[in-house]
Amino acid sequence: MNPIKDTLKDITSMLKLDGIVLILFAVLIFLFPALLSYLVAAFLSIAGISLLVYGFKINKSYKEAEKFWKKLEE
């Protein structure tokens, strides 16, 4: 059980997903320029939610890591 390793794995998978979504949005903008404002709004929403998720996961991992190190010190 390594909370830091688990959190890094979650964050890297979310970053890969964000990258795929960005590429998809870029292709859609090239194909349908009129969708630009909707896609930008959708991306900003996804980015905001992703950052909140990252923040909560990092905070949880930090707390678990503190518990882990305290157990090792005993």
pLDDT in tens, 35-74: 888 888 988 898 888 889 888 888 888 888 888 888 888 7
Count of structural domains, the chain:
1
Q: Residue with structure tokens 């909140």? A: 52
Report pLDDT for 10: 79
pTM of this structure: 0.62
Question: Rounded to whole angstroms, what are the CA distances from 16 to 22, 32, 61?
Answer: 10, 24, 20
Question: Rounded to whole angstroms, what are the CA distances from 19 to 8, 25, 41, 44?
Answer: 16, 10, 16, 13
Highest mean pLDDT among 4-13, 20-29, 58-67: 20-29
Structure tokens at 28: 């859609």
Report pLDDT for 71: 83
Asked if 4 contacts 65 with a C-beta cutoff of 8 angstroms, the reply is yes
Domain of 11 in residue numbering reads as: 3-73
Report pLDDT for 9: 81
Asked if 18 contacts 47 with a C-beta cutoff of 8 angstroms, the reply is yes
